[in-house]
Structure 1
């Protein structure tokens, strides 16, 4: 075989390789373009969350920087989309006071939320002898003595969107639910005695960011 024939063969091979790469790039571009068009037409909306109630079992500041708390909350999540489902792959909830986490994170089991579906979760958020900032202890004790304290219950995790058979990659979801928690030996207005605990109806809207 002559040198000229070998060179011609290599050129044809390079040309086929370039054509294959170009075809693959065009195919990927068309797929991504289709996904973007579908996404724009469907206009996905964020799920909505509502903090319905909180049951106080324990909330005790035993030292300036030590807190023990056990609170059961009821949170409702709704998917407002009529053509898009939501996979909650991972979701954890905990309580914070002035930006500091004061309970452990409680995991909520993974679940799929269909079109217009609603889910209700009632996790316990708790922490035994949790160290907090030293100046938070007196603040919490004073707020408790005054009748109540503002807490923020957070839900953080990852979700995926489902459109037909298409499932997207994971997105971070951050939910913030502010709540005023009353305290006292006897139930305050809106409180219901439940065994050795007091349940308060809150019905507080939550902020959702993705």
Structure 2
């Protein structure tokens, strides 16, 4: 009699566990469905970045193909969403030339951006005796003597989306801003770097998340 009761209790426990698991599965599926529907209705948009200006404080190519540079850039980021906030986590700013990194990473402090808000950052981007590829060294020297250079300002980091009290997982953020920076006017005899001059760029950046 006791053996039969024990078996009955085991079967009952298995049924309860099975029902609980099924219930949890249904609940999880409903929560996920509600989130997806909400996400589709809100239609989240990527932040919009603009490279506003650049101020040159130093730019020098020396042997054996070493680059020392120091400039300040102004970047604006706008959240185009009316119901979604954005957390910017650990943003790194740096410059590249012909796909080669030529400055160190400059960190922008983490921040939260509300609905339709705009943030403006003005980080210094610099590098001291940074080795560059020989062919890039020649091109840099030529561009410097010509009075202008084409750089790319990049921002890499992570973002999180905030909808109500819900905060998403982290997503990788990649921002690419072309920057054509004039150094001087070779036609007037002023070639090379003119320091302390702010060049207005107003260049839209490409953003991928």
TM-score by length of 1: 0.93
Give the whole-Å Cα distance in 2 for the aligned partners of 1:66 and 1:23.
Answer: 64
Supply the distance in 1 between the matched residues of 2:89 and 2:178 (Cα, whole angstroms): 24
Deviation at 1:185, TM superposition (A): 7.8
2:191 is matched with none
Aligned to 1:203: 202
CA distance in 2, matches of 1:103, 1:18: 58
Q: Is the 8 A contact 2:147 2:185 kept in 1?
A: no
Instruction: Name 2:144's counterpart in structure 1.
Output: 144
Give the CA deviation at 1:184.
3.1
Q: Aligned equivalents of 1:131 and 1:47: distance in 2?
A: 33
Q: Distance in 2 between matches of 1:112 and 1:2?
A: 64
TM-superposed CA distance for 1:181, in Å, is 1.1
The CA distance in 2 between the partners of 1:36 and 1:134, in whole Å, is 51
Would you say the 8 A contact 2:67–2:130 is kept in 1? yes
Matched position secondary structure for 1:135 = helix
Of 92-101 and 1-10, the range deviating more from structure 2:
1-10
CA RMSD, 1 decimal: 1.5
Q: 1:32-65: per-residue Cα shift (whole Å, max 9, x none)?
A: 1111000000000111000000000001111242
Alpha-carbon distance between aligned partners in 2 of 1:15 and 1:41, rounded to the nearest angstrom: 39
- For residues 136-175 of structure 1, the aligned pairs below 5 Å read 136-175=136-175
Structure 2 partner of 1:45? 45
Q: Distance in 1 between matches of 2:3 and 2:98?
A: 78
Aligned pair count? Answer: 203
The alignment's TM-score, normalised by the length of structure 2, stands at 0.93
Q: Deviations over 1:146-199 (max 9, x none)?
A: 11110000000000001111110101110000011111389x9xxxxx9x5111
- 1:183 is aligned to 183
After superposition, where does 1:124-143 map in structure 2 within 5 Å? 124-143=124-143
Give the 3-state SS of the residue equivalent to 1:8 in structure 2.
helix
Q: How does 1:48-59 map to 2 (within 5 A)?
A: 48-59=48-59
CA distance in 2, matches of 1:159, 1:124: 22
Q: Does 1:87 align with 2:94?
A: no
- Equivalent-residue separation in structure 2 for 1:45 and 1:185 (angstroms): 41
Q: What stretches of structure 2 of length at least 5 have no aligned partner?
A: 189-193
CA distance in 2, matches of 1:109, 1:37: 33
1:64 and 1:135 in contact (8 A); partners too: no
